[in-house]
Amino acid sequence: GQTSTFIVLALICSLVAYARRRHLTSAALLVLAASIKYYPALLIAHIAARRDVRTLVLIAVLGGLLLILFPFIVLEDNLKASDWFSQDANSQFLPHVLARLTGVGLRLGYVFSLTLFAANLVAVWLLRRKSGHVALLAPIFLLLSVPLVVRTSWPHYFGYLPFCQVLMWWMTLMGV
C-alpha cells in the first residue's frame, strides 16, 4: 500500500516535537519516516543549519541502527539498486520530467535541478536563525526539493504538498 500518509504524519509530528524541544522524539520520528522512504532525511539540513548538535547526534545514532545496521542484517545481498525508474513516465524527478517535456538530454535537467536545490539550501541557511512561524519555511523549502534530488520521485511521495500549501497560505494571511 501507499505509505505517504504515514510519512507525512511522522514528518509533521517530528517538526512539532522539534519545535517543542523534544529532540529524541523528533529524531526518532524523522528516522522512522526516512526508513520508509529516504526523502524525509532532507529535513536534517534544517537541523544542521540550526547547528543543533544534540539532535544531529540522535539522528545519526538512530539512523545508523535503523537505516544501516538493521537492513544489512535482514536483507544481506539483496540491497542492489536498479535504474529502471529513469525510463518510467510516472517519475517526477525534475530531470526526467524536463527530458520528457522538452526532449532535452538529462544533463541540462540535472544542472537545472541541482541549481534549484542549491537555491533551496541557501534559503534554509538564511532561515537558520529565525524562530517562530518563519522558521517553518526551512522545512518547506526542503520538502519542495524532493523532486529535485530524489531520482525515484513518484506522485504519491508528495502527500505533504497540501501541508506546505496550507502553512504558506496561513503564514501569508497572518503577515508572517
> Which residue, chain included where needed, has cell 525534475?
94
Instruction: Out of 28-32, 49-53, 103-107, 137-141, pick the least confident.
Output: 103-107
Q: Percent of the chain scored above 90 by pLDDT? A: 16
Q: What's the gap between Cα 148 and its chain centre?
A: 10
Question: Does 31 or 132 have the greater pLDDT score?
Answer: 31
pLDDT digits (tens, 9 = 90+) for 35-92: 888 788 888 888 998 899 999 999 988 887 877 666 666 655 544 444 556 667 788 8
pLDDT at 74: 63
d(CA 26, CA 156): 23
d(CA 171, CA 89): 35
pLDDT at 24: 95
pLDDT at 89: 78
pLDDT digits (tens, 9 = 90+) for 78-107: 444 445 566 677 888 888 888 888 877 778
d(CA 34, CA 37): 5
- Give a three-class secondary structure readout of the chain: CCCHHHHHHHHHHHHHHHHCCCHHHHHHHHHHHHHHCCHHHHHHHHHHHCCCHHHHHHHHHHHHHHHHHHHHHHHHHHCCCCCHHHHCCCCCCHHHHHHHHHCCCHHHHHHHHHHHHHHHHHHHHHCCCCCHHHHHHHHHHHHCCHHHHCCCCCHHHHCCHHHHHHHHHHHHHHCC
Give the mean pLDDT of the chain.
82
Say whether pTM exceeds 0.75.
no
